[in-house]
Structures are given as structure tokens and as C-alpha cells.
Amino acid sequence: MARSFVAEARRRGLGTRKQRIGPIIAGLAEAHSDAEIALHFGSDVELLISVMLSAQTTDVNVNRVTERLFVKYRTPEDYLAVQSEELEQDIFQTGFYRQKTKSIRGAMRMLIEEFDGKVPRRLDELQRLPGVARKTANVVAAELGHAQGVVVDTHVRRLSQRLGLTRNEDPVKIERDLQRVVPRADWARFPHLLIWHGRRICDARRPLCEDCVLADLCPAARVYF
């Protein structure tokens, strides 16, 4: 069980989650005005494919693969027009290529058969696509301007815990905690802000608390990890 900083925030007199969330978002937005999705895509379908490929690998790696992939595959039909083995080869470098190929082809088939070839906006519809779990659905929906939840990845989990916004470990429960405290208008950008802050400042092992704009709001500031 990770250390809970919810009680620590109270002990340090930093204010409640609801009192701190506004200044936290404002501080992060100022520090990371460039925070946005790191995946490269030019259409809704390319966004969906990129997010599906990003499981268990880096965005940089996905971008390297999709640079060529999206020249060869332009429509959902294109992913079904080749043999599975060919698509496997084309996405091999993203890892778990067999499972990803199966998921992508299944998702493209469902897009064609049930959604007129278009990527749906609703979370429940996105989650019906083969290989699309809640996190992928949340990323896609938010990026398409229809955030219905808060994306929880490893950075979002770590920073939410350190900032005392949740005491939970389970991503579903963390998301529920964040939905209660983060204003709905910020559901799409909040995860990006945490992800970029996690990459640049609040490293898992060596957080740079001295350089952090949230130091006065954070119950984990200057705690040894």
C-alpha cells in the first residue's frame, strides 16, 4: 500500500482537496502550457490506432512506427485488406504485435460494421471495440473533445497520490476520486498536465521538489521516496 498523503495534507494545513485543486491546475497549466498528447495522428482513426499501439511502449516508439504505418493504411478497410501477418510485421516494433494486430483488426471491423467507419465518441461505445479498455477509451474521447472521464496512467496515479488527491491504488477508484474533485471542464487537460509534470519534475524516484511550482500545495514535498 502506497503512503497516503491525504492525511498529510491535513496535517500540514494545506487545505482540502477542493481548496487546492484550482491552484494546482493553475500552477501546472502555467508550468506546462505545451502539455498535450504526445502521439502523432491526422484523423480520428489514426488517433484510435495510435492509442491502441501505445500499450506497454513509449509514445516516441509509436510515432516512429505510425509515421510509415499511416502512409500505407489510410482507412479502416485497409487494415482488413492485408493478411494479419503483414500488419503484425508493420507494427512489430511496438511489442505485443500479435495481440495488437488482433485488436486493431477487430476494432476496424466493428467501426465499419456498426459505426459507419467512424470512431464513436461515447465511452460505452468505444469500450465495445475489441482491445479498447477504459483508459484507451478515455484518451480517445478526451482527444476528440468529449471527455467523459479522467485518464489514469502511471504518472497520473503517482502524482495524484503524492498531491493527496487520492489514497487509492486501483486506477478505477483513482479516476472516481479525481472526477469528484477536478472540474469537468478540466477532465481532458488535467491528465496531460500531470503526465508532463511527472516526466519533467516529479520523477518516480527523484522528484525535483525544489524546482516544483506545486511545492507549497503538495503534502509529499521534500519527502524522501
Catalog residues that contact ligand SF4 under the rule CB under 6 A.
162-163, 201-202, 207-209, 212, 214-215, 218, 220-221
153 an active-site residue? yes
C-beta of residue 134 within 8 angstroms of C-beta of residue 179: no
Residue whose entry in the numeric block shows the C-alpha cell 456498426: 114
C-beta of residue 172 within 8 angstroms of C-beta of residue 137: no
Q: Which of 90, 100, 135, 177 is catalytic?
A: 135
Of 76 and 191, CB closest to ligand SF4: 191
Alpha carbon distance 37, 59 (integer Å): 9
DSSP 148: -
- Minimum distance from CB of 5 to ligand SF4 (Å)? 9
Going from the C-alpha of 215 to that of each of 3, 103, 193, 207, the distances in angstroms are: 18, 42, 16, 11
Alpha-carbon torsion, ordered 130, 57, 97, 106, to 10 deg: 10
DSSP 95: S
Of 31 and 91, CB closest to ligand SF4: 31
Of 17 and 162, CB closest to ligand SF4: 162
Burial of 11 by CB count in 10 Å (0-12 exposed, 13-18 middle, 19+ buried)?
exposed
- Minimum distance from CB of 223 to ligand SF4 (Å)? 7
Of 172 and 208, CB closest to ligand SF4: 208
C-alpha grid cell for residue 18? 477542493
Q: Which of 59, 153, 173, 186 is catalytic?
A: 153
- Minimum distance from CB of 47 to ligand SF4 (Å)? 29
- Minimum distance from CB of 22 to ligand SF4 (Å)? 16
Which sequence positions are flagged as catalytic? 135, 153
